[in-house]
Amino acid sequence: MQIIADLHIHSGYARACSPQLTIENIDIWAKKKGIDVISVADFTHPGRFKEMKEVLVDQGNGLYKVKGSNIGTQFIMGTEVSCIYRHRDKTRRLHLCLFLSSIEKVAEFNKGLTSRGGKLKSDGRPILGMSAKDILKLVMEIDTVGFVVPAHIWTPWFAIFGSKSGYDSMEECFEELTSEIKAVETGLSSDPPMNWQWSALEAL
């Protein structure tokens, strides 16, 4: 069975993104584009979270659909965060895509970020002072089936392997939790076959 998915999008709560990116509009346009599963996007933002609770209904399998819609688009609880922090005597800047199994788990995660100083109202893609490893830890603590995907991994800025503020290896970033990273987003800078040329990424 082939599933076409878009797991990295944004909403009107993210900077420089259209206010037309409501969940109901995404439902309509995902169908027109042939997308079966799509990220709800920006679930850390209070405005988006309120919208999610109002318009989505749980399908019982970790996916949601718009109430009253017969379109069939399935929504996964996904978002992106921006991490800026010091590690190994360098300033690190990288983006992570996060996925959780339910709105309830999202509420717990957002509470965890807020308790750690996260200012979630500032942007749909919040800037956090937490390390990538600590974000992964929080996801694992809250949701046993939640997962983290390093975003657009070769982008010079804001990527795990970015030349400006990234790392030289996955292990340098996530240390003993590296095995918990099961996938990466290649982004527009590369494609999967290019990444598989590096043995460290062969399993992803």
Given a cut of 90, whether residue 109 has pLDDT beyond it is: yes
Burial (CB count within 10 angstroms: exposed 0-12, middle 13-18, buried 19+), residue 26: buried
The confidence band for 136, taking pLDDT boundaries of 50, 70 and 90, is very high
> In terms of DSSP bridges, do strands 37-39 and 5-6 run parallel, antiparallel, or are they unpaired?
parallel
pLDDT at 179: 97
Query: Does position 1 have pLDDT exceeding 90, yes or no?
Result: no
- DSSP at 99: E
Residues of the chain above pLDDT 70, percent: 100
Residue spans per domain, the chain = 5-201
Band of pLDDT at residue 38, cut at 50, 70 and 90: very high
Look at residue 45 and tell me whether its pLDDT is greater than 90.
Answer: yes
Hey, what CATH class is 5-201 in?
alpha beta
DSSP for 54-86, written as a single string: HHEEE-SSSEEEETT--S--EEEEEEEEEEEEE
Q: What confidence score (pLDDT) does residue 28 get? A: 98
Q: Which whole number is the average pLDDT over 151-155?
A: 97
Instruction: Identify the pLDDT of residue 189.
Output: 86
| Mean pLDDT score, 86-97 | 97
Tell me what pLDDT residue 203 has: 86
